[in-house]
Amino acid sequence: MKNMGAQFLIVTVFLALASSLAFASDPNPLQDFCVAVDEPEAALFVNGKFCKDPKLATAEDFFLKGLDVAGNTSNKVGSNVTQVNVAQIAGLNTLGVSLARIDFAPYGLNPPHTHPRATEILTVLEGTLYVGFVTSNPENRLITKVLNKGDVFVFPIGLIHFQFNTGHTNAVAISGFSSQNPGVITIANSVFGSKPPISDDVLSKAFQVEKNVVDYLQAQFWVNN
């Protein structure tokens, strides 16, 4: 009986590990592709999108042009993210990948943010970036690196991270994601720019500052990247 119990425990642990690995990114598709189509409100969504009849799919469903065009960085943070996910390429639906182009003005910042559904891998095409992420509680350890052209850095799924152009020239990076729709939560926007606003009683206590500081921050225009 002890041997059977041990074997059962081993099998259970193995299945748990296999399950966790299997769901580390978007679920694998059970067909060649599932080109996303918009439908009126319905009761059922599979992977967030409905599928076009595969026989009606065309090359345009898997194509996007214009990623060579720099994004407009004339904003408060000096950066612009051009997303290429299932919203831009319908053929990405169920394939579990996406990417983005990130443009930086001199000393531009892609502010601290998280991707709740994806790990990110970033490659610098031009310029120099100071990048980093913070580990989860209780350590909250900051891990950073200065990246130059051709360097690659990984931001683990769900962790707060950022990219900052340390140079006096423009910088460009390309990021890949392990989800067709990685999502993004910009920390300052979410905390101080929520609609309706979070109570200043809550935020002043959370950040240990006076309410007038919270009110000032909530009155700012927060850039969505």
Known binding-site residues for Mn(2+) equal 113, 115, 120, 161
Q: Which residues are annotated as a binding site for oxalate?
A: 110, 115, 120
Phi, psi dihedral angles at 128 (to 5 degrees): -130, 130
Q: Which residues are annotated as a binding site?
A: 110, 113, 115, 120, 161
Tell me how far apart the terminal alpha carbons of the chain are, to the nearest angstrom.
58
Beta bridge pairs of residue 124:
173
